[in-house]
Amino acid sequence: MIYLVVMALVVFFVPPVAVHFLAAQLGIKGVTLASYRWLAAAVVVLLAAIAIYFSNENMTTNFVLHAAGGGVVSSLLYAYGVRSLQVRLPLAIDLLALFALVSMLGVLNELAEFALDLLGYGPKSLDRMDTWRDFVANTTGALIGWALIRLFVKDEKPRSIFGRLGRLFSR
């Protein structure tokens, strides 16, 4: 239970703080938290529903939780950040940045699971291959989430990331 509370707090507070910091550094006006709070609330409800539906701990439950909680949530956070910063990325860099984000969040999650195991709140690992299946599930969920976002969410005409980064580093 402690683990879910900590993860919910991280998902709810860290991304908007990071996006506001980057927006301030890049000089982007009008970044609002209203849409993010609704997104974060929906994510928490989705994860709670999955956890209740798949109440027994097995490989299928673990894969679904990581694909939704690690992957789809990462793609939603990524889309929120990119759209809030009003940037456009080439396809290869877009996928690479998404992979970097989902990998970073996945590693942090696995470190948290390991720490909870050591503190006696576990075991969080099902077997010695658990971490690797979690990484595959995270990446699979992120690609599915990214594809759905690209398919169903229309882009405004954002500016190139390279022009914005040039302004950041020329200060």
* pLDDT greater than 60 at residue 142: yes
User: Using CA atoms, how far apart are residues 95 and 100, in angstroms rounded to an integer?
Assistant: 9
Q: Are 43 and 11 in contact (CB under 8 A)?
A: yes
- State which residues form the domain around 111: 2-169
The structural domain count of the chain equals: 1
pLDDT score for 139: 93
User: Using CA atoms, how far apart are residues 20 and 70, in angstroms rounded to an integer?
Assistant: 22
What pLDDT band is residue 136 in, cutting at 50, 70 and 90? Answer: very high
> Average pLDDT, stretch 14-21?
72
pLDDT score for 166: 53
Name the least confident of 2-6, 27-31, 95-99. 2-6
What pLDDT band is residue 4 in, cutting at 50, 70 and 90? Answer: low
C-alpha dist (Å) from residue 58 to 51, 54, 89, 145: 12, 9, 38, 23
How confident is the model over 68-92, as pLDDT tens digits?
Answer: 778 888 888 888 888 877 888 889 9
How confident is the model over 22-57, as pLDDT tens digits?
Answer: 777 767 676 666 656 666 666 667 666 666 666 566
